[in-house]
Amino acid sequence: MKRIWMYLSAYKKECVFAPLFKMLEALFELFVPLVVSAIIDTGIGNADKGYIVKMSLLLVTLAVIGLTCAITAQYFAAKAAVGCATGMRHHLFKHIQSLSFTEMDTIGTSTLITRMTSDINQVQNGVNLVLRLFLRSPFIVFGAMIMAFTIDVKAALVFAVAIPVLAVIVFGIMLSTRPLYKKVQAGLDKILGITRENLTGVRVVRAFNKQENEIREFKQANEQLNHLQKFVGKISGLMNPLTYVVVNISIIALIWIGAVRVNAGTLTQGQVVALYNYMSQILVELIKLANLIINITKALACAGRIENVFSIKSSMQNGSTTESTDTQAAAVEFKNVSLRYSGAGDESLTDISFTVKKGQIIGVIGGTGSGKSSLVNLIPRFYDVTKGEIYIDGVNVKDYRIEALREKVGIVLQKAQLFKGTIRDNIRWGKKDATDTEIMEALDIAQAREFVEKKDGKLDSFVDQGGKNLSGGQRQRLTIARAVVRKPDILILDDSASALDYATDAALRKSIREMKDAPTLFIVSQRAASLMHAD
């Protein structure tokens, strides 16, 4: 709740005006039964057509004013709710970007996507409804009871009994459903994870003819969520019938007491109709309040899940150094480095030490799972070492500002990841102000210029999300160009030429070696030929 208030603080005016206009609407609504009572007792009772017309026009005026207030309240509530959700989404995305790979691996991508989309949408709906109804509905309920007491105290005692019973029903159901809605959202996380996994790996699923298995797994998870939603839906569904039963019993009691008192001459027919209208207003508002409670319950459960992500702090602390002053220091130095992934049973790297001079080429070769990628991922500090220390230009990587450290390192990961946009846009991820000349130079080094110039739009050619409209080799070469364009001090090629033929691979390595101010180069590969010329 504190976080929601924090984002709503920028919309104080809207948070005041939305409920204020709703209260005004409710106030005008409470006068309607009194006007109807007057029409029945005075206008119809005395056959005064002029009075009936005058009071009918008053009803229309009340309706127009109420509608105007309702629309104004909706505008302010929507503005505050959408603004709150937008601020929360921006800050959540920024917070997620600040987390290290360790936290990202632990939380899971599907969970984070649910938090960013479904959970924040639920919070937005909850805020909107609270601003519009949280004060209006109780105001109508208690206002109608007070107005009933002004008409007749004995008849209004029905209201005094009905309202506490209804409050017990509404809040009892709210308290019992809140933990269940948390489980529903967790089930949604699981389904989103399965869906994402299947859509990203659809080719592999089909290649191994695993469609039936995946459909069965998805169906099982979906049915579990379905059963849970049905269960919580049944509990929430009790709200309306129970409130209807209580209110309708109250209406029967009210009409019975009213009839007796009209017969005794204590009440007029118009007053009984007014009392009935007030009870009907209470019924309508309690249905709204019941739905509001359900939505608030969902919103609070989702807000708690969002807060859980905000409460996760990055295990990677930022340093303060931006540049090394030691010009004679080694480019990279590992001192007794070990790495154990979070939750792993054993170390992935153990007691590794080596020193690399500036401009040297280092080849890293080994079997699958031997820790090649783990080794090079420590250099840009994607993960922190468990033991030992790593120095770049004589400064411990933990002492660098993370942004400054990663400006010094260019890395091409195993999976060639491109983004939706043009080729120029993708290359400029490496250097946002890169000129076309610099981009073409980087494409030359990455052996990508030839296929780029064959495309109709050249640098303006469109790239689908993930580079789906390019071959594996083309994607790899563009990601290498993206890393090379910034002219990093250290360049890491993490098995990023696996889709290239031997001739292109050799030409790529030759062009990197011949670069002006050639970077210190780490080549991770399973091809011995790729590492033959390493230092």
Q: Which tens digit of pLDDT belongs to each residue from 107-126? A: 877 778 888 888 899 889 88
pLDDT over threshold 80, residue 327 = no
pLDDT over threshold 80, residue 288 = no
The pLDDT of residue 133: 81
The owner of tokens 């409670």 is 293
First to last CA, the chain: 58
- For residue 339, report the phi and psi dihedrals to the nearest 5 degrees: -140, 125
The pLDDT of residue 72: 92
Residues in contact with 534: Cβ distance below 8 Å, sequence separation at least 6, in sequence order? 361, 362, 363, 523
- Count CB-CB contacts under 10 A for residue 327: 8
The pLDDT of residue 76: 92
Q: Token pair of 312, please?
A: 């996760």
pLDDT over threshold 80, residue 86 = yes
pLDDT over threshold 80, residue 389 = yes
Residues in contact with 410: Cβ distance below 8 Å, sequence separation at least 6, in sequence order? 430, 483, 484, 486, 488, 490, 491, 492, 519
- For residue 370, report the phi and psi dihedrals to the nearest 5 degrees: -85, -5
Beta strands in 125-170 (DSSP E): none
The pLDDT of residue 517: 77
Separation of alpha carbons 376 and 357, rounded Å? 16
pLDDT over threshold 80, residue 294 = no
321 vs 361, which has greater pLDDT? Answer: 361
User: How buried is 83 (Cβ within 10 angstroms: 0-12 exposed, 13-18 middle, 19+ buried)?
Assistant: middle
Q: Token pair of 294, please?
A: 């359900």
Highest mean pLDDT among 70-84, 254-268, 314-328, 422-436: 70-84
Residues in contact with 191: Cβ distance below 8 Å, sequence separation at least 6, in sequence order? 218, 221, 222, 225
Rounded to the nearest 10 degrees, what angle do helices 136-151 and 12-38 cross at? Answer: 30
pLDDT over threshold 80, residue 146 = yes
pLDDT over threshold 80, residue 182 = no
What is the mean predicted confidence (pLDDT) over 484-489?
Answer: 87
Q: Judge whether 313 and 13 are in contact, CB under 8 Å.
A: no
pLDDT over threshold 80, residue 325 = no
The pLDDT of residue 75: 92
143's enclosing H/E stretch is: helix 136-151
What does the radius of gyration of the chain's CA atoms come to, in whole angstroms?
A: 34
Q: Judge whether 10 and 87 are in contact, CB under 8 Å.
A: yes
Q: Judge whether 364 and 379 are in contact, CB under 8 Å.
A: no
Separation of alpha carbons 102 and 382, rounded Å? 8
C-alpha angle 286/289/295, rounded to 5°?
150
Q: Judge whether 408 and 488 are in contact, CB under 8 Å.
A: yes
The pLDDT of residue 82: 92
pLDDT over threshold 80, residue 412 = yes
pLDDT band at 474 (very low <50, low <70, confident <90, very high): confident
The pLDDT of residue 535: 85
Q: Token pair of 324, please?
A: 């090394």
pLDDT over threshold 80, residue 387 = yes
What is the mean predicted confidence (pLDDT) over 91-112?
Answer: 83
Q: How far is CA 79 from the centre of its chain?
A: 19
Ranges of H-type helices in 413-470: 423-427, 436-445, 449-454
121's enclosing H/E stretch is: helix 120-133
Separation of alpha carbons 98 and 335, rounded Å? 27
Separation of alpha carbons 137 and 15, rounded Å? 17
- Count CB-CB contacts under 10 A for residue 62: 18
pLDDT over threshold 80, residue 62 = yes
Q: Token pair of 424, please?
A: 């120029």
- Residue 327 to residues 85, 322, 400, 401, 407: CA-CA distances in angstroms? 49, 14, 16, 19, 18
Separation of alpha carbons 461 and 469, rounded Å? 11
Highest mean pLDDT among 124-133, 197-206, 309-318, 451-460: 124-133
Separation of alpha carbons 169 and 239, rounded Å? 7
Residues in contact with 493: Cβ distance below 8 Å, sequence separation at least 6, in sequence order? 412, 480, 521, 522, 523, 524, 525
What is the mean predicted confidence (pLDDT) over 499-521?
Answer: 81
Separation of alpha carbons 445 and 513, rounded Å? 10
What is the mean predicted confidence (pLDDT) over 298-317?
Answer: 84
Highest mean pLDDT among 36-40, 93-97, 183-187: 93-97
Q: Whose CA is closest to 170, among 130, 132, 138, 136?
A: 138
Question: Of the given ranges (17-26, 57-66, 464-473), which has the lowest mean pLDDT?
Answer: 464-473
The pLDDT of residue 90: 92
Helices then strands (H, E): number in the chain? 19, 10
The pLDDT of residue 71: 92
Residues in contact with 142: Cβ distance below 8 Å, sequence separation at least 6, in sequence order? 163
Q: Judge whether 518 and 484 are in contact, CB under 8 Å.
A: no
What is the mean predicted confidence (pLDDT) over 486-505?
Answer: 82
516 vs 489, which has greater pLDDT? Answer: 489
